[in-house]
Structure 1
């Protein structure tokens, strides 16, 4: 997204969700993974006559209310988005004025897009051409259409190409830069947006400033008083692959993450983490990863510390301490500052608000963010470069930029980037005939480090399971609730089978919350 429009964040606020005429939800089981947003979309469709298109190989709650449900073969998203774009162009539904005035690269992208006829897309994705055409017309004719997606669209081999193809659809129809429209990635965790904003990325300083640009280096060195790295670091997958190799990573400090549950190949991850000479884990529970650590720092939960969360809509919100931490647990800032002092770099912050003041000084998009406004309940959306406060139609005090790209894109002109469909590295074969998809259910979150310690949630979803279509179950002689072993080329697990019409034939689904 940043390459195409200058920002990788959700372009619109949830305040203007009701102003959309149509929602296109792809790669997101919204009601289970993002239930508040899912409920807003559900209410808009059920009670305000908004239209909904869902692109997902599996039936989800929202498909019950969708005008169209396109069930693509997993991994074929790029072909589907290109096919939708072709129909929009071919039937004269593209916003040519917007394309001319606000974008670049359209003609080059069009050459690729126009090769994806409905017939070609049907052959690749399995979506009937009539459904593809109808969905394209519906999206193209909507006065205000917004697209929502999550990790189902990004966490596979062609995820980057898929996101560019989604952005193409929005720019093609002029559905960006105004309320009720936009490209809206739903973040996978409650403060992952804030963590990225603050520079928890291998190639950027706070505010998404590249580490290899001299003026960015100068800004942070002036405030922090130290020399900072000017070369990008390793990605998460590169870090894991580096462990145990000559010249690779020997020590690691992990905060609030449990890769021994969330890594896609746990056998490989276990071997990598056990090769480390020194592992520190800072967490609120003794997770599977913490069990491998040489040192564990007991940290605090959200209810035991002061600070802010920046949510998926770029909204910065106060977190207030409700109770004192138990036992020897410390707030994250206390742990980090104490450790930093022992290592020769004292950091003293008398309050969380002082941390925010420093962040604002090195993060241009947070320039005017302060506790003065956050403590008043003002809805602050970055970029926030003015202290002007407005009031929404429902009375909410608002500050900053709820809608991005209104007059121009962050990068100037929006850039069309189209890509050819590339099949996944591995397709089903005689030995492994099924496609495995993974995701969340409503009752648990991520690796289950917190939710699986709640008895009421465990009662609703107590154990791992595999959903499979009745046709596949019959073919393999599997009965409902029967224990089965699921294997891939990299490992295997044993769990119960749930026969369901939610997956398509040839596809199974397993939620990832269970260490069993």
Structure 2
């Protein structure tokens, strides 16, 4: 999100899901689309079967490779080098969109100069992708328009993840593939409503609608609406002396909060719908932090690994037991309708939060139904200003939708970039935070399975899914397995500098020699005990995708 906000002015998916299937060229990088985002995966396959070019850039031979015109099997953590190498070819061969760049972009010359560091000999050495394939990919993407880029956590979950996103944005601008149908830069969100949560200000630096906490006018607007404070003129008029101002500077990210907890700078946490005891990097460190809290509240639909540390557990309702809206990865706001009443003592999240706030003596939390909250959202969030439950009954709307009869916005940056002009960013190659060595000679990368979701809080309670995939495995290349005397199904120990886990070995040709893979769904073989907590300096996301490990047969 931070990378796209810097270059384009907005951190969201630029285009719509249905447009992907009409693209003349698709670059799918850092995404196992058919397993993690199967609906979008179908659109990618539709484009490929319809004659479109598909470039897959992934260390793993994923299902989409069956439909690809070209598969670039780069080493984990080398995305910037690969993308900058492609752009070096595009610039050297004069394939870039000069008019688009001149009219709609800025800082191109500085970016162009930064490409000098990425000669193809260097790029091949770093990425392990042959020069001929890099040249072919560059020409394919630059000459088949409209072209679109889709990416997921294989791009963002690195210690240089923001640079990865900036490189993708540079490529889209370089080829003029922004602001038109079936083009753009399209991040695929990791959960069904993560876009909506971010839209509503579940970030440390913004209020709802990505309105900066550092902007005094924005802060005053929310203080007035929420009754936190009043403008000086009204205070003087009514003789009001009290004040409870909203924050004027960004707060902490999730990882920073847990680190502050570890050092006892934070004494209490309220965790809603999150399972950091299994989902966060270096989870042994996270669990030590949670154990030190003086007070922990966990609000969730099941008793998760994190809830085991809680002093109070508040039972929340599932998606099928509540009304509201979800905002999906294409910025589409859609109604969610209750199918059954909440089971047992569970309640909708909004109701629980309102009850807690009222017990604390807060005002303004007397909502009786979620539609009232959505009305407030529209009043305070310009991009949602034209939406209402009435309009959403007829189908979803894509933000920005600023006024009542606005049709929604399928394509961002159509006339101009949100920030005015698209900004090219010069980049350098930065290696992953941890590289293999004699003690830990293999790279571990992590991801999701088709059959389970995140920490398995819901999916591991489904008998059929557990029958198909009952336990965690470590996928290992046949050559590495042979050298380590490991056979299919052997129990092995995987160790990193942070801990060790036991899992079953699965021999898999999908991975290159030197790289092993684990999902993070299984508490019994918790991959995130091993992963590297090194943070991206901008987005503060840990390096889940590259950790140095060793594997030993038991």
Q: Name the CA distance, whole Å, in 1 between partners of 2:263 and 2:429.
A: 34
Which of residues 333, 357, 363 is equivalent to 2:381?
A: 363
Q: Assess if the C-alpha contact under 8 Å between 2:21 and 2:45 holds in 1.
A: no
C-alpha contact (below 8 Å) 2:495/2:501 kept by paired residues: yes
Instruction: Tell me the equivalent position of 1:334.
Output: 351
Provide the residue aligned with 2:194 in structure 1: 192
Measure, in 1, the Cα distance between the counterparts of 2:198 and 2:88. Answer: 34
1:300 aligns with 2:317: yes
In structure 2, what is the Cα distance between the partners aligned to 1:114 and 1:172? 16
Partner of 1:244: 262
2:519 counterpart (497, 511, 514): 511
Q: Secondary structure at the match of 1:218?
A: helix
The separation in 2 between residues aligned to 1:271 and 1:76, in whole angstroms, is 32
Cα separation, 2, equivalents of 1:18 and 1:111 = 35
Q: Deviations over 1:12-33 (max 9, x none)?
A: 0113223310110000000111
Alignment of 1:304-383 (within 5 A): 304-346=321-363, 347-377=365-395, 379-383=396-400
| Partners of 1:244 and 1:250 within 8 A in 2 | no
Residue 414 of structure 1 pairs with residue 422 of structure 2: yes
1:270 aligns with 2:287: yes
1:152 is matched with which residue?
Answer: 154
Task: Give the structure 1 partner of residue 545 of structure 2.
Answer: none
**Conserved? CA contact 2:8–2:419, under 8 Å:** yes
Distance in 2 (alpha carbons) for counterparts of 1:100 and 1:44: 30
Q: Is residue 2:458 matched to residue 1:450?
A: yes
Contact 1:161 1:418 in 2 (8 A): no
Partner of 1:396: none
- Secondary structure, counterpart of 1:152 in structure 2: helix
Are 2:298 and 2:314, in contact at CA under 8 Å, matched by a contact in 1?
yes
- Determine if the alignment matches structure 1 residue 41 to structure 2 residue 51: no
Please report how far the alpha carbon of residue 44 of structure 1 lies from its aligned counterpart in structure 2 after TM superposition: 2.2
Q: CA deviation at 1:419?
A: 1.1
What's 1:495 paired with?
503
5 Å-filtered alignment, 1:47-62, equals 48-62=50-64
Aligned equivalents of 1:425, 1:245: Cα separation in 2 = 23
C-alpha distance in structure 2 between counterparts of 1:446 and 1:458, whole Å: 14
Which residue does the alignment assign to 2:549? none
> In structure 1, what is the equivalent of residue 137 of structure 2?
135
Name 1:181's counterpart in structure 2. Answer: 183
Does 2:212 match 1:204? no
* Deviation by residue 1:149-187 (Cα, 9 ceiling, x = unmatched): 001101011100010000000000000101100000000
Would you identify which runs of 4 or more consecutive aligned residues in structure 1 move more than 4 Å?
none
SS of equivalent to 2:262: coil
Whole-Å separation in 1 of the counterparts to 2:412 and 2:403: 15
SS of the aligned residue for 1:400 comes to coil
1:386·1:400 contact (CA, 8 Å) conserved in 2?
A: no
> Aligned-pair RMSD on alpha carbons?
0.9
Checking the alignment, whether the CA contact within 8 Å between 1:11 and 1:403 is kept in structure 2 is yes
Q: Which runs of 5+ in 1 are unaligned?
A: 390-398
- Shift of residue 40, structure 1, vs aligned partner: 1.6
Greater shift, 250-259 or 420-429, is seen at 420-429
Structure 1 position 387, deviation (Å): 3.1
State the shift of 1:84 in Å. Answer: 0.6
Please give the alpha-carbon distance, in whole angstroms, between the structure 2 residues aligned to 1:376 and 1:354: 19
Q: Which 10-residue stretch deviates more, 346-355 or 123-132?
A: 346-355
String of CA shifts for 1:185-207, please: whole Å, max 9, x gaps.
Answer: 00000000000000000010000
2:262·2:286 contact (CA, 8 Å) conserved in 1? no
How far apart are the structure 2 equivalents of 1:32 and 1:301? 23
CA contact (8 A) 2:147 2:184 kept: yes
Tell me the residue number matched to 1:393.
none
Structure 2 gap ranges (5+): 229-244, 525-554
Residues 63-118 of structure 1, C-alpha deviation per residue, up to 9 Å, x if partnerless? 11101110111111111110011101111110000000000010001111132122
Q: Distance in 2 between matches of 1:494 and 1:100?
A: 55
Deviation at 1:424, TM superposition (A): 1.4
- Provide Cα deviations, 1:303-361, integer angstroms capped at 9, x if missing partner: 00000000000000000000001111111111011111111113122221111100111
Match of 2:247 in 1: 229
Aligned to 2:532: none
Correspondence for 2:215 among 213, 216, 220:
213
- Please say if residues 84 and 118 of structure 2, whose CA atoms lie closer than 8 Å, have aligned partners that are also in contact: yes
Q: In structure 2, what is the Cα distance between the partners aligned to 1:426 and 1:376?
A: 50
Q: Give the CA deviation at 1:257.
A: 0.4
Report 1:63-74 matches (<5 A): 63-74=65-76
SS of match in other structure, 2:87: helix
Output the CA distance in 2 between the equivalents of 1:49 and 1:352. Answer: 45
Structure 1: how far apart are the matches of 2:107 and 2:272? 41
Give the paired residue count: 504
Q: Distance in 2 between matches of 1:353 and 1:49?
A: 45
1:226-257 residue CA offsets vs partner (Å, 9 max, x unmatched): 131111100111111101325x1100000000
